[in-house]
Amino acid sequence: MTEKLTKEECVKALNGLYFSDGTDDRDDECYNVLMELINEHFDNLPLKFEELEEDKWYWHNKKKEWIKIMSKDLCVPSQYPIIETIHEYMNFEQNCLYRKQVE
């Protein structure tokens, strides 16, 4: 298998396993955990400024590297919100920071 599975394929496989035997002897907690893992894996939307947390690492997709947000509430007059990373101050850009690496 060389191609990556899509979210839809993973959900279909999970549902196929879960509902295939036709019994009520299912573990809903396990199903919910696996569904949450599938969603977490595939739902890596770009973060909004409000979602960023200080002292956390985020994937910077334009720089193709991980950055750590040191501060995001800087009192510097600017048209764009400014964040402080370990290495620099930078303007926050929409559709640039993610919780997980973007491939």
What pLDDT digit, counting tens, does each position of 13-57 carry? 998 888 877 776 777 888 899 999 898 888 888 999 989 999 999
pLDDT digits (tens, 9 = 90+) for 11-22: 999 988 888 777
Same-domain check for residues 85 and 58: yes
Is there a domain that residue 75 lies in?
yes
Same-domain check for residues 38 and 79: no
Count of residues making up the chain: 103
3-state class of 59 per DSSP? Answer: strand
Same-domain check for residues 56 and 93: yes
Same-domain check for residues 53 and 82: yes
Q: How many domains does the chain fold into?
A: 2
Same-domain check for residues 66 and 25: no
pLDDT at position 65: 93
Same-domain check for residues 29 and 63: no
Is there a domain that residue 2 lies in?
no
Same-domain check for residues 27 and 64: no
Same-domain check for residues 89 and 56: yes
Q: Which domain holds residue 76?
A: 49-98
In whole angstroms, what is the distance from residue 52 CA to residue 69 CA?
Answer: 8
Answer yes or no: are the C-beta atoms of 60 and 54 closer than 8 Å: no
